[in-house]
C-alpha cells in the first residue's frame, strides 16, 4: 500500500502541472483581459451652528427667517458619498472606463439626491461611461460640469460645502429668484449635467481643455447647454478659464413659482411664458477666470465670475447680471495641519445696492491620509431683497440679513 507521503506527492505534482498550464494560458491572453473595479467613498459629518435660516421655499430669497439653530449636519467639507469605478485595458493604449457615484446623508441614512428634472437619482453625482487613450478622454452620462472643475481648480477653499466658490455660486443663482434649489439645472452655470458628453484633451504644454455638450430632452437647442473650460498647471501655478451657456434652464422653476403664486398650473405656465421663459430662452451664461499659486506651505488664489442672462427673462425682483470675485490664501505650518481663508464678494448689476460678501476661515487636522477633523467659521453680509448668500451649501438663509456660522466635524475616505 502506498504511503501517505507518496499519495501527497503525486497529486501535488498534478496540481503544479495544472497551475503551470493555467499560468501559460493566462500569459497568452491579450492585455485587453486586464480590468479593475474599485469601491470608494467619503463619510463627512459634523455639528453646525448658523443664524438667520430662511423660512421660505428652498433658495428663493425671502426676508422671512426662522432664527438660529444648532444641529447635526452631513457634509462640512463635502457631502458624504460612495461610488464604484472601473477600467479595462482594451489594448493599444485604449481603455474603457465607468464611474457611478451618489450621495448619502449621515444624519438620517437617506441616499441619492436631486437631478436636473427635480426628481431624485440614486447615483445623482456621476453615472458615466467612456473611453480614454492618447487622444484624451470621452465621457457620456450625468457628470460634474466643467464649471465645477474650474471652480475647484483655482479656489484656495476648493469645493468645500462651507464657505467657498461653490457657496458663492449658489448665492448668485439664488439672486436670480428663478432657482428653487430642488434640481441641479441652475440659473447660472451648473455643478452637474444630465445627458452630457464631455471631451477632455491630452495635456499639451501644461494645458488641457474640457468641451461639454448637454442634450436637451426635446432635441435641438431646447434645454441644451454648452461649455468649454481651460486648465493650466506649471510648477506651483494653476490657471482656469470657463465659458458656459444654456437654454431653458429657468423655465421649470419659473413655472413652479408662478403656479404657486397664482394657484393654477395653466396660469403659472402662461405667466412664465409671458415673462420670456421658454425651452429655447438663452437664460444661462457664465464666464470665469482664476489663478492659484502655491509655494512651499503657502497658497494664494483669486477668481472672477460673470453671470449673465442674455434673453433677460427674469422673475420679479430677480437679476439677469451679477459679478463675483474672490481672493483666498492657505498655509500648511505642518504636514498634518491645513489652514485656509477666503473673501467672496457678489454684486448685482440689475438691482442697485444689492450685494453680498462672505468671509471664511477654516482649519483641518489630518490624523492620516484618509481621516481628518475640521473646524471652520464664516460671516456673511447680504444687502438687498434678492441677496441670500449662505455660508453653508444646502442651508438657505434669509435675504437681506447677515449670517454667522461655525462647524466642527470629522471626515474619512475609503
Say what the pLDDT of residue 104 is: 96
Task: Report the C-alpha dihedral over residues 221, 192, 339, 330, rounded to 10 degrees.
Answer: -30
Give residue limits of the domains in the chain: 41-413
Higher pLDDT, 27 or 218: 218
Q: Pairing mode, if any, of strands 337-348 and 355-366?
A: antiparallel
CA atoms within 13 A on the CB side of 300: 1
Could you tell me whether strands 225-234 and 207-214 are parallel, antiparallel, or unpaired per DSSP bridges? antiparallel
For 54-66, what is each residue's pLDDT tens digit?
A: 999 999 999 998 8
Say whether pLDDT at 18 is over 50. Answer: no
Please state, in angstroms and rounded to a whole number, the distance separating the CA atoms of residues 324 and 355.
10
Place of cell 463627512: 44
Neighbour tally for 10: CB within 10 Å: 10
> Which conformational region is residue 317 in: left (phi greater than 0), alpha (psi within -120 to 50 degrees), or beta?
left
pLDDT(17) > 80: no
The lowest-confidence range among 12-26, 156-170, 364-378, 394-408 is 12-26
pLDDT at 90: 97
- Residue 412: strand, helix, or coil: strand
For the range 204-211, what are the long-range contacts, defined as Cβ-Cβ under 8 Å and sequence gap of 24 or more? 206/232, 206/233, 206/234, 207/231, 207/232, 208/136, 210/146, 210/149
- Output the nine-digit C-alpha cell for 353: 445696492
Tell me the mean pLDDT in the region 191-203: 96
Residue 6 confidence (pLDDT) above 50: no
Among 1-5, 140-144, 390-394, the minimum mean pLDDT is found in: 1-5
**Lowest-confidence segment of 28-37, 88-97, 112-121, 214-223 by average pLDDT:** 28-37
**pLDDT more than 70, % of the chain:** 92
pTM: 0.88
C-alpha cell at 33: 483581459
- Homologous superfamily (CATH) of 41-413 is Porin (2.40.160.10)
- 3-class secondary-structure state, position 216: coil
| Mean pLDDT of all residues belonging to the chain | 91
228-275 tens-digit pLDDT: 999 999 999 999 999 999 999 999 999 999 999 999 999 999 999 999
- The stretch 288-294 carries a mean pLDDT of 98
Q: How confident is the model at residue 402 (pLDDT cuts 50, 70, 90)?
A: very high
Residue (of 381, 375, 376) closest to 403 by Cα position: 381
> At which residue does the C-alpha cell 461611461 appear?
129
Percent of the chain with pLDDT over 90: 86
* pLDDT exceeds 60 at position 217: yes
**Is a pLDDT exceeding 60 seen at residue 226?**
yes
Residue pLDDT, tens place only, 311-356: 999 999 999 999 999 999 999 999 999 999 999 999 999 999 999 9
pLDDT at 19: 38
Position 169 pLDDT exceeds 50? yes
What is residue 218's predicted lDDT score, i.e. its pLDDT? Answer: 66
Q: Is 42 helix (H, G, I), strand (E, B) or coil?
A: strand
Residue 181, CA distances (Å) to 57, 120, 155 in order: 9, 13, 23
Q: Is 43 a residue whose pLDDT tops 70?
A: yes
Amino acid at each position: 500500500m502506498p504511503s501517505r507521503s507518496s499519495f501527497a506527492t503525486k497529486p501535488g505534482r498534478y496540481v503544479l502541472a495544472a497551475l503551470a498550464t493555467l499560468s501559460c494560458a493566462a500569459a497568452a491572453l491579450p492585455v485587453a483581459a486586464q480590468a479593475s473595479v474599485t469601491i470608494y467613498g467619503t463619510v463627512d459629518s459634523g455639528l453646525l451652528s448658523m443664524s438667520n435660516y430662511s423660512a421660505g421655499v428652498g433658495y428663493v430669497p425671502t426676508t422671512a427667517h426662522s432664527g438660529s439653530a444648532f444641529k447635526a449636519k452631513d457634509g462640512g467639507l463635502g457631502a458624504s458619498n460612495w461610488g464604484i469605478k472601473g477600467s479595462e485595458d482594451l489594448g493599444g493604449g485604449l481603455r474603457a472606463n465607468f464611474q457611478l457615484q451618489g450621495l448619502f446623508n449621515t444624519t438620517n441614512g437617506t441616499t441619492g439626491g436631486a437631478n436636473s428634472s427635480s426628481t431624485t437619482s440614486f447615483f445623482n453625482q456621476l453615472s458615466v461611461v467612456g473611453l480614454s487613450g492618447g487622444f484624451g478622454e470621452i465621457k457620456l452620462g450625468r457628470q460634474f460640469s466643467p464649471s465645477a472643475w474650474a471652480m475647484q481648480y483655482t479656489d484656495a477653499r476648493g469645493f468645500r460645502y462651507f464657505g467657498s466658490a461653490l457657496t458663492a455660486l449658489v448665492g448668485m443663482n439664488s439672486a436670480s429668484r428663478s432657482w428653487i434649489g430642488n434640481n441641479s439645472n441652475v440659473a447660472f452655470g451648473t455643478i452637474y449635467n444630465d445627458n452630457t458628453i464631455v471631451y477632455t484633451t491630452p495635456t499639451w504644454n501644461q494645458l488641457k481643455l474640457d468641451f461639454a455638450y448637454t442634450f436637451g430632452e426635446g432635441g435641438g437647442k431646447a434645454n441644451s447647454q454648452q461649455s468649454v473650460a481651460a486648465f493650466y498647471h506649471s510648477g506651483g501655478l494653476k490657471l482656469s478659464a470657463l465659458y458656459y451657456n444654456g437654454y431653458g434652464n429657468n423655465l421649470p422653476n419659473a413655472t413652479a413659482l408662478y403656479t404657486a403664486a397664482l394657484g393654477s398650473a395653466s396660469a403659472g405656465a402662461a405667466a412664465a411664458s409671458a415673462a420670456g421663459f421658454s425651452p429655447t430662452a438663452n437664460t444661462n451664461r457664465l464666464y470665469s477666470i482664476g489663478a492659484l499659486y502655491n509655494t512651499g506651505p503657502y497658497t494664494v488664489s483669486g477668481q472672477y465670475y460673470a453671470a449673465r442672462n442674455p434673453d433677460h427673462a427674469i422673475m420679479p425682483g430677480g437679476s439677469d447680471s451679477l459679478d463675483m470675485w474672490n481672493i483666498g490664501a492657505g498655509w500648511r505650518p505642518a504636514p498634518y495641519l491645513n489652514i485656509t481663508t477666503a473673501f467672496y464678494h457678489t454684486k448685482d448689476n440689475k438691482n442697485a445696492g444689492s450685494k453680498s460678501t462672505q468671509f471664511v476661515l477654516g482649519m483641518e487636522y489630518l490624523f492620516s491620509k484618509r481621516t481628518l477633523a475640521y473646524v471652520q467659521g464664516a460671516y456673511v453680509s447680504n444687502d438687498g431683497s434678492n441677496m441670500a448668500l449662505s455660508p453653508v451649501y444646502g442651508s438657505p438663509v434669509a435675504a437681506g440679513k447677515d449670517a454667522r456660522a461655525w462647524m466642527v466635524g470629522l471626515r474619512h475616505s475609503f
